[in-house]
A and B are shown apart, each in its own frame.
Chain A
């Protein structure tokens, strides 16, 4: 673990230290420590309710932390530290941090009242104040990259699930994020559509994007992930290379989980 967070770019992209999150008295994340390096692809697996989504939502401050500290690219998320005091960020400052972190949801969450192109340029024009023309040019490149250039003028409801999720990835990429979070991006898809989304994600990993992916696609984890994290009961039970964790799990809980899903 690094102690100082200033100066070099040697500090990790994401550093979670003893992160705690509770809803009322229900402690969802009891003690999460995890570090993700630049360009690293980390897959998170774990049983339902183990807090995987909650942890992702903490990383871009959709949820407020109750304990521990979390930095992205060396910057404390959700709070500002001055001396030994910690101040809550203003909503504007929190939004500023989120624009550098892309997120892809299980249920796509495309904006149904906007066309595919309008979905992608919405945040660049509204948040980054890019011109419509510049944002559209960039959006068309991204659509090209996810193989959907011909759907630019279509509305999301007329697309298949796999196409919608690829648009959602393009929408997140349009903000030029330094980190991408994926929350079960293929779980809502028909089996024959999973591949096209995973292909886009593989390409993204190859291009050097730092990615944290909650997934049940063990094949994808094995092929793409640099490391695999098994979460259960609000803690990181085990972390290692995919082949180690899948092939030679060290903990009984990991073995029990893998025996059910593999």
Chain B
């Protein structure tokens, strides 16, 4: 810091360098902006004061008690697992669907289109109920050669727990949305890029994997961050499967026993907010990572010379 400043002195002082005189203006004042900020801080402070001391319904003692309750933190972990697993599945399947929709093969394009039509066209809640009924509709899962007796078979009930049915239900639904996000990202890449890589003798798959998809990341990551946060909250619908170990269902069950719903809603919100905040930090670093090669972005020391 000190070296930078002293290095700039001659430049800033026309008396020494003899260059053109620097502008020494009085910075613009922002009285309205400042007054507004003060007003908002006062309002927020009075709201917090009021919530802390005058509203017994918030029951902060119970909030403090339940926020670290083992049942709640375990449920928070289940919600986190549901989110991560179903998003990983959705991103993988969604990328595959996007590539299929852009592929030169009309059969693949058709399959992807039908998938999107069904999974985007029906509510996720309805899909989750369907997944819950899977064991009723298909009692056995069989792998074998059709029209012969060769093969193995499992009962659906024993093979797929409610948790995994919830993950599958959330992932398959989300994949349809991820497919559109990934496709938009891929279309945002200059066609000259795939032309250049094709001209170098790279195959379509290599062009996608090495050239188009990495460049589309910059466009894909921000809306995907949105989807992750949205998924975190959508997990509260898994009660439709029915899975009752997630954060929202668990806190609701507890409040049904205590007849005191408000503190538990606050507890659930605190956990959801904690996870969202962590996700937002992660997104910031991912975005920096994929901004490599764009002008004016500091990608850390040693990245370019």
Contacts and interface: CB of A to CB of B under 8 A. Distances in A.
A147 to B, nearest CB: 16
A154 interface: yes
Contact of A151 (B192, B204, B290, B305): B305
B195 A111 contact: no
Q: Which of B199, B211, B303, B304 has the most CB of A within 10 A?
A: B199
Given A111-B211, A113-B292, A115-B304, A103 B199 contact: yes
A123 B195 contact: no
A95 B196 contact: no
Contact of B295 (A95, A113, A157): A157
A127 B201 contact: yes
A60 interface: yes
Contacts of A62: 195, 198-199
Contacts of A107: 192
Nearest to A151: B305
Interface in A134-189: 150-158, 168, 171-172, 175
Nearest to A174: B200
B203 interface: yes
A123 B293 contact: no
Contact of A156 (B202, B210, B293): B293
Contact of B200 (A96, A115, A175): A175
Interface string B169-212: 00000000000000000000010110111111111101000110
13 contacts: A98-B201, A101-B199, A105-B196, A112-B215, A113-B214, A113-B290, A113-B292, A122-B210, A127-B201, A156-B293, A157-B293, A157-B294, A157-B295
A95 B192 CA distance: 17
Contact of B305 (A96, A98, A153): A153
Contacts of B195: 62, 105, 109
Contacts of B295: 157-158
Size range of the chain B interface in the assembly: 20 to 34
B304 A126 contact: no
A247 interface: no
B200 A122 contact: yes
A99 interface: yes
Interface in B212-249: 214-215
Interface of A: 60, 62, 91-92, 95-96, 98-103, 105, 107, 109-115, 122-123, 126-127, 150-158, 168, 171-172, 175
A109 B294 contact: no
Given A107-B192, A151-B305, A158-B304, A113 B199 contact: no
A109 B203 contact: no
A158 B202 CA distance: 26
A75 B212 CA distance: 30
A158 B294 CA distance: 9
B216 to A, nearest CB: 10
Contact of B192 (A96, A109, A150, A171): A109
Contact of A98 (B192, B199, B206, B290): B199
Contacts of A111: 193, 196-197, 211, 215
A119 B44 CA distance: 53
A154 B198 contact: no
A112 B202 contact: no
A91 B203 contact: yes
B210 A126 contact: yes
Nearest to A168: B196
Contacts of A103: 196, 199
Contact of A155 (B214, B215, B292): B292
A99 B305 CA distance: 30
A243 to B, nearest CB: 32
B215 A113 contact: yes
B299 to A, nearest CB: 9
Contacts of B192: 105, 107, 109
B215 A98 contact: no
A189 B200 CA distance: 23
B38 to A, nearest CB: 43
Contacts of A172: 200
Contacts of B199: 60, 62, 98, 101-103
Nearest to A155: B293
B188 to A, nearest CB: 13
A109 B196 contact: yes
A95 B202 CA distance: 6
A91 B203 CA distance: 7
A250 B292 CA distance: 53
B200 A123 contact: yes
Contacts of B215: 111-113
